[in-house]
Amino acid sequence: MQCFMCGAEVGNDKVCYNCGADILLYKQIIYTSYVFYNQGLEKAKVRDLSGAIDSLKSSLQYYKYNTRARNLLGLCYYQTGEMVRALNEWVLSKNLQEEDNPDADRYLAEIESDPGLLTKTNSTIKKYNQAIEYCKAGSRDLAMIQLKKVVSQNPNFVKALQLLSLLYIQEKKYADARKFLSQAAKIDSNNTTTIRYIHEVKERLKEQNTGRRRKKNDVVTFADGNDTVIMSENSFRSMLDNSRASFMNILLGLVIGLLICFFLVVPTVRDNMTDDNTDTVLALNEELSDAKTENESLQTEIENLQSSLSAYDDKQDVATSYDNLFAAQNYYNEGDSVTAADYIQLVTRDVLGEQGQTAYDNLYASLSPTIIQGYYDDGNNFYTEENYESAITNFKTVVEIDETYNSGAALFLLGDCYRLTGETELALECFNRVVELYPSNKWGKQAKVYLAADDTELSATEVGE
């Protein structure tokens, strides 16, 4: 430990031997900082990251040169998906202690070794901020779209998971909210916000289940002569449980009644059965005919109701589509093409009128570069993360709109994703098309390499056979 006045090394003395400064209080402050650091370390080991962050912040408030606490704080931020805060702590740690700081050196070196990480982080932050703006403007659908992209790029971003869960709670989609809250709880097990949301979801689900399981047999009704007796089910069951002797008497009476019925009633029924069969069959035929007629009537009524419901849904979709079209046009006029592109993708063109479809086509043509660029960027991010299924979805959308996009880059990357997922025939189709369109650029040349490799493999197989 060094003296805070002159920097001389001090031992267990209360006063610095070099400058005479009183260092007792200074030692107590540093020891308190290490106590909070130990608490944060214990919490981090059990995935209580929010608690660890609070303890480590307290440690640094007492002693800002506690390098271990600062590096661990950056690591906790990194685990919760807050890359910017993590970088701030590690860079500050390196500035405060440039020498003998291996943890900060290792963390910063790992980030520098991945050149696409900072670009992806920047994109994630922009989308998260855009989602917050959508929430403030009341556009929950657009906010959820952005947050889903954020979570796909950074699955550990706890705040994005919490905000997405909150939006699902507001939309009354409690099962989806519980799924994302469970994911957040695995990352930070003792986050108070996550726990509060989980309790809220459980209460809402309990209310739904309680509403669905309404007790239909709370009361029991039966006739007693000319009177109708109504009593609670619990009381009725208690009466039966407390009347075993009466039950045995009733059972004995039933047995006697069955014997009388068998010896006296059954022979008479047998004699009359033959005469009644014909009447019974006729009556059943009439009932069956009436049932068929009623069934046809009900089927017609169901079809009419479905037609009415379909027309109502179409009207609802018309209003929503026009609202989204107007919103897209307004954002485009204000120069915000990204938001306009998000809104126009929510429009259902078929429900619009002739003028509406014309306006949609013109605006979509203007926003098409922005829409394609968005899908292409997302596809590139998924491709970098080796999430090839999601990358295929985005690149396929780009190719369907414009297969020549970016000089064949989207078409080549789509083929490469197919190759990496084992769909060889689709990959060869894409590579052949790239060679046809761009035989001389880098994408065409790389496609030729893959095609030549495939031909070589095929020839080797034939020789082996």
pLDDT of residue 315: 46
Mean per-residue pLDDT, 421-431: 89
pLDDT of residue 347: 81
What residue type is 459 in one-letter code?
A: S
Dihedral of CA atoms 295, 296, 301, 307 in degrees, nearest 10, equals: 120
Percentage of the residues of the chain whose pLDDT score is greater than 70: 74
In this predicted structure, the answer to whether residue 380 has a pLDDT above a threshold of 70 is yes
pLDDT of residue 444: 87
234: helix, strand or coil: helix
- Given the structure tokens 């909150």, which residue do they identify? 166
Mean per-residue pLDDT, 154-158: 88
In this predicted structure, the answer to whether residue 266 has a pLDDT above a threshold of 70 is no
| Cα angle, residue 15 at apex, residues 9 and 16 outer, rounded to 5° | 30
Alpha carbon distance 313, 296 (integer Å):
26
Most confident of 186-200, 309-323, 339-353: 186-200
Percentage of the residues of the chain whose pLDDT score is greater than 90: 7
In this structure, are residues 391 and 379 in contact, taking their beta carbons and an 8 Å threshold?
A: yes
Element (H, E) at 221: strand 219-224
- Confidence tier at 261 by pLDDT (50, 70, 90): low
In this predicted structure, the answer to whether residue 77 has a pLDDT above a threshold of 50 is yes
Please state which of the ranges 94-108, 127-141, 218-232, 329-343 shows the lowest mean pLDDT.
218-232
Round the average pLDDT of the chain to a whole number and report it. 78
pLDDT of residue 11: 61
In this predicted structure, the answer to whether residue 339 has a pLDDT above a threshold of 50 is yes
Please state which of the ranges 185-189, 319-323, 324-328 shows the lowest mean pLDDT.
319-323
Please state which of the ranges 144-158, 218-232, 284-298 shows the lowest mean pLDDT.
218-232
pLDDT of residue 463: 34
327 vs 392, more confident: 392
In this structure, are residues 191 and 158 in contact, taking their beta carbons and an 8 Å threshold?
A: yes
Alpha carbon distance 146, 150 (integer Å):
6
- Confidence tier at 35 by pLDDT (50, 70, 90): very high
pLDDT of residue 313: 47
pLDDT of residue 316: 45
Element (H, E) at 224: strand 219-224
pLDDT of residue 272: 60
In this predicted structure, the answer to whether residue 428 has a pLDDT above a threshold of 70 is yes
Dihedral of CA atoms 383, 386, 390, 396 in degrees, nearest 10, equals: 40
Mean per-residue pLDDT, 90-109: 87
Residue 179 in tokens:
């799924």
Q: What is the pLDDT of residues 359-374, one digit of tens each?
A: 888 888 888 788 888 8
- 17 Cβ contact list (under 8 Å, min separation 6): 8, 10
- Confidence tier at 451 by pLDDT (50, 70, 90): confident
Strand partners of residue 221: 230
In this predicted structure, the answer to whether residue 99 has a pLDDT above a threshold of 90 is no
14 vs 42, more confident: 42
